Structure 1
Amino acid sequence: MISILAGGFIGTLLRYSTIERMKGRTSIFPSAVLFVNLGGSFLIGLMAGIGLNAASQEGRFIFIGCLGAFTTFSTFGVEAVELWKAGKLRLLFLYLLVSLLGSVVLCAAGYGLGHMAV
């Protein structure tokens, strides 16, 4: 439990600082959260590919704590709803496609890369 809390603390700080650094530099696309979620998906795949198990102490720290707090599905949902409410339906569709498909593709790429490294 302590490892999850410690990892969550680190992941939350990393997400916050990443999103804050990207503020003002983003386009009409909610790219800061997209970057965090795609990067987190790649890292989760990479960790799984090298054989890290989410049931281990290290796995709980990294998977559940750090990367669970670093990525943010709830903010992704809010940004999708905001695009919908603003009538930006094409942008919404693109955001959903890139976020969901991109996360799976990058997770698979990370997994493959990690598996090759072992």
Structure 2
Amino acid sequence: MLKYQGEGMKGLALAVGAFLGALFRFALGEWIPVLSDRFPLGTMIINLTGCLFLGWFFTITLFRWKWPLEIRLGIGMGLTGSFTTFSTFSLETAQMLENHHFIAAFVYVVSSVLGGIVLVGVGQSIAEFQIRGSRSKGA
């Protein structure tokens, strides 16, 4: 019975995080100006920001803050998972290809995928720098 209750807390944390992430994504998507119909800048900024945050968040909460798994799942997978969106990225890429915007689609895919991987690493490096800094200060 206790194990089931713990699983329920993980699900609740994911659901609350996903709800908040969807709201944040909608708000930021409305705030970012549309530059043209050829390049989905808003989705790219949202996804790359999420990659940077996720790399930092999972590193800092695992090695420095030692947050409980439920909170890490809720914020990391729930909030960030619904804030970022692979399905929208895929749809926008397909639409660019259908409209013969091949160069824009190529730039979008390459910059999103490589940029995402690089920004996860940057986020991890920032967290590691913060961890080393706190250790050298005796914190």
TM-score in same-fold range (> 0.5): yes
Does the C-alpha gap of structure 1 residues 88 and 66 become closer, same or farther in structure 2, counting only changes over 3 Å? Answer: same
Query: How far off its partner does 1:56 sit?
Result: 0.5
**Paired residue for 1:78, among 91, 103, 108?**
91
Q: 1:26 is aligned with what amino acid?
A: L
- What is the CA RMSD across the aligned residues, in angstroms? 1.7
Runs (4+) of structure 1 exceeding 2 A deviation are 25-28, 51-55
Question: Given that residues 25 and 84 in structure 2 are in contact (C-alpha distance below 8 angstroms), is that contact kept between their aligned partners in structure 1?
Answer: yes
Show the counterpart of 1:26.
35
Question: Given that residues 55 and 120 in structure 2 are in contact (C-alpha distance below 8 angstroms), is that contact kept between their aligned partners in structure 1?
Answer: yes
For residue 29 of structure 1, give the secondary structure of its aligned residue in structure 2: coil
TM-score by length of 1: 0.92
Question: Given that residues 61 and 67 in structure 2 are in contact (C-alpha distance below 8 angstroms), is that contact kept between their aligned partners in structure 1?
Answer: no
Show the counterpart of 2:52.
42
Structure number with larger C-alpha Rg: 2
TM-score by length of 2: 0.79
Provide structure 1 residue ranges, at least 5 long, that are not aligned to the other structure.
none
Paired with 1:68 and 1:116, the residues of 2 have a C-alpha distance of 25
Query: How far off its partner does 1:113 sit?
Result: 0.4
Query: How far off its partner does 1:22 sit?
Result: 1.7
Please say which of residues 81-90 and 48-57 is displaced more in the overlay: 48-57
Paired with 2:99 and 2:20, the residues of 1 have a C-alpha distance of 34
CA distances 1:8-49 after superposition (whole Å, capped 9, x unpaired): 0100000011111124x4233210000000000000000122
